[in-house]
Structure 1
Amino acid sequence: MKPIHAFHPAPAQRCHPRRTFLSWLGGTALAFVGCQNTGPIHIFGYRLGADALYDPNIRTVYVPVFANRALQTTPYRGFEVDLTQAVIREIGRTTSFRVVSDPERADTELIGVIVGIQKQILNRTQQNMVRDGDLIVTVDVVWRDLRDGTILSAPRKGARPPAAPLPGDILPIPGPFDPNLPPPAPLPEAPQVIPTRLVAAGRYLSELGETSSSAAKRVQDQLATQIVSMMERPW
């Protein structure tokens, strides 16, 4: 007859208070992230999501195709189109803004001009071929509010341009010409808009299979990140 062994239950594990709190906090965060909520998310008084970095009063952005004033040579023809698409993708991926194709329905407008494309050779092979190079692109960007003309990319005191007459406004009818009247006062000069200049560089190594096209892709991604970071509201 086999001996009967006594069954000893395993001792109950003691719950660590810190581990329990962290587990509850992680579950709460996952619940907030998984919940489809259209409003801003608040945890312990802090706002999470894109509304915490970007102005919630701005909903739509109109992004026309960037202008290209630099020398366009192969393989950089159409660089402005690819850069515009990269910026639009980054806005949709990172911010709470929505890109629209009609400026009449947009709150803001993002204008970009490529002012320089420079290819710099850093190292050559023994056969005088490019071994290491950089592609440097310079872009001027202006982000303005279409509702009141405020320059959002570089706000300055007194930088708001004078309000222009709208198409539906009724303008006063000028009277007959009188040579005895004094000449009218000169119109105030509109403040000059200073764009924000951004520079990005993309490195390529020919011996690793990298080309000017791969360097251009790196530059476009870097510029898109810089432009969208510029659209964050000030702290």
Structure 2
Amino acid sequence: MCPPESRHRKQLQSVQDMRVFNRRWFLTRAATVPLVAGCQGTGFSIFGYQAGAGALYDQNIRTVYVPMFNNRAFQTTPYRGFEVDVTEAVVREIGKTTTFRVTSNYESADTELLGNIVGITKQKLNVNQLNQTREAEIDVLVDIVWRDLRDGTILSNPRPRAAPGRSAPNPKVDAPPPPFDPNVPVPPDDKGLDLPKPVRITATGRVIPELGETIASGSAQVQKQIAIQVVKLMEKRW
């Protein structure tokens, strides 16, 4: 029979081994399950729900062509070439967040993302006794159009909302099909292309010189906000 001290030592060792086993199991086994599942595709499923980037973005779209944004705003010295920085920020955010791949080949791209900077303004919010700026903000307005190059559908256009308690009307399902008559020629496809309705994006950057913030740091904030909002616009519809 083991003495009381050795029995207590064995019990303490078994408890410590159990803690190490549980910690090691969760770190090496359970934590790697979603990682392995995520490497196999664009996301993974947990408790019957799809997670990851594949659940937010349309998997039928693979590539996006992003030309240089147009700049219609009045350009002064601090904001010259602002459209270049905005385009680069949008391209980086698409490659980092979405499942799409940005391509420079217009002919092989699935979709096209067009941007137009329509306004850049700087407003003083607070000044000191010498009329020097203590706080200001930069406001930028950008119009975005995202279209499918395969069939001409404007993906950024808002969908029509249905009345409460009713689903959205679907002409292909709700309208009864015409009776088939082999003697009647097939009618031409009179479906016109969707007219683009630009989505207006507003971004604001803060400038406080007393905190070391400048026009450059405020512009960087604006560019990041525009890129994030554009990527959110590219998510699938609920």
Under a length normalisation based on structure 1, what TM-score does the superposition of the two structures give? 0.76
The offset of 1:188, in angstroms, is: 9.5
Task: Please list, as runs of the form range in 1=range in 2, the aligned pairs for 1:90-169 lying within 5 A after superposition.
Answer: 90-156=93-159
Residues 1:210 and 2:213 aligned together: yes
Ranges of 4+ aligned residues in structure 1 off by more than 3 Å: 12-16, 23-27, 187-192
Q: Distance in 2 between matches of 1:5 and 1:222?
A: 67
Instruction: Give the corresponding residue for 2:184.
Output: none
Q: Distance in 1 between matches of 2:235 and 2:211?
A: 37
Q: Distance in 2 between matches of 1:26 and 1:203?
A: 44
Instruction: Give the corresponding residue for 1:76.
Output: 79
Q: 1:151 to 1:7 in 2, by over 3 A?
A: same
Residues 1:55 and 2:58 aligned together: yes
Q: Which runs of 5+ in 2 are unaligned?
A: 161-189
Q: Which has the higher helix share?
A: 2
Match of 1:233 among 228, 231, 236: 236
Q: 1:27 to 1:142 in 2, by over 3 A?
A: same
Instruction: Give the corresponding residue for 1:38.
Output: 41
The offset of 1:81, in angstroms, is: 0.4
Instruction: Give the corresponding residue for 1:222.
Output: 225
Q: 1:5 to 1:96 in 2, by over 3 A?
A: closer
Q: Distance in 1 between matches of 2:84 and 2:158?
A: 27
Residues 1:7 and 2:17 aligned together: no
The offset of 1:28, in angstroms, is: 2.6
What is the letter of the counterpart of residue 141 of structure 1? Answer: I
Deviations 1:139-172 (A, max 9, x none): 0000000001111111446xxxxxxxxxxxxxxx
Q: 1:156 to 1:234 in 2, by over 3 A?
A: closer
Q: In percent, how many aligned pairs have the same letter?
A: 52
Q: Which runs of 5+ in 1 are unaligned?
A: 158-186
What is the letter of the counterpart of residue 206 of structure 2? Answer: R
Under a length normalisation based on structure 2, what TM-score does the superposition of the two structures give? 0.75
The offset of 1:189, in angstroms, is: 8.0
What is the letter of the counterpart of residue 30 of structure 1? Answer: T
What is the letter of the counterpart of residue 58 of structure 1? Answer: I
Q: Distance in 1 between matches of 2:195 and 2:63?
A: 25
Q: Distance in 2 between matches of 1:191 and 1:31?
A: 44
The alignment of Structure 1 onto Structure 2 pairs a total of residues equal to 200
Q: 1:10 to 1:125 in 2, by over 3 A?
A: same
Question: 3-state SS of the aligned residue for 1:215?
Answer: helix
